[in-house]
Amino acid sequence: MEGQFQQERDMVAPETNPQGDNWNPGDAPPRTLVWAAQCVKKVGVIGVFPPPAMVAPIGAVQQRNLTVRGGNANHRRHIPQLVGLTATGAIDPTEILTQTEPITGAIEAYETFDQRRPGWIKVELKPAA
């Protein structure tokens, strides 16, 4: 299985530049689907994958009689309603913000977020005054 994983990763991300404990490109998409098809009934995958990562365990999906659906969120349709809910105070998006960083520190903030440090759930980047 490790050899197959390495082969899939080499296909999805032939050029990588891992630094520290950050995520390594190609280490999740196919493996996630394989594990999901083996152990659960419903699966949600959030993210955008490059065309070479479109590897799916179709045999396991068929044998387990799973239904697979895909699609993109229509952001433009939902943004006006979300802005309206925010303007009226019905929702407060700041409740999910756990960090505020200057926009000049975006790279460092992303690297820290990518390391999955405790308390880093949603980061707000503030532009300079």
Its pTM stands at 0.36
Q: Tell me how far CA of residue 51 lies from CA of 13, 34, 93, 97, 116, in angstroms.
A: 11, 17, 33, 32, 26
Q: What is the mean pLDDT of residues 59-88?
A: 81
Higher pLDDT, 105 or 22: 105
pLDDT band at 96 (very low <50, low <70, confident <90, very high): confident
pLDDT value at residue 3 = 76
Contacts of 16 (CB under 8 A, 6+ apart): 24, 25, 26
Q: What are phi and psi of 101, to 5 degrees?
A: -130, 155
- Report the range out of 25-29, 43-47, 86-90, 117-121 with the highest average pLDDT: 86-90
Q: Tell me how far CA of residue 109 lies from CA of 17, 18, 101, 118, in angstroms.
A: 18, 16, 7, 13
Q: How far apart are CA 41 and CA 37, in angstroms?
A: 7
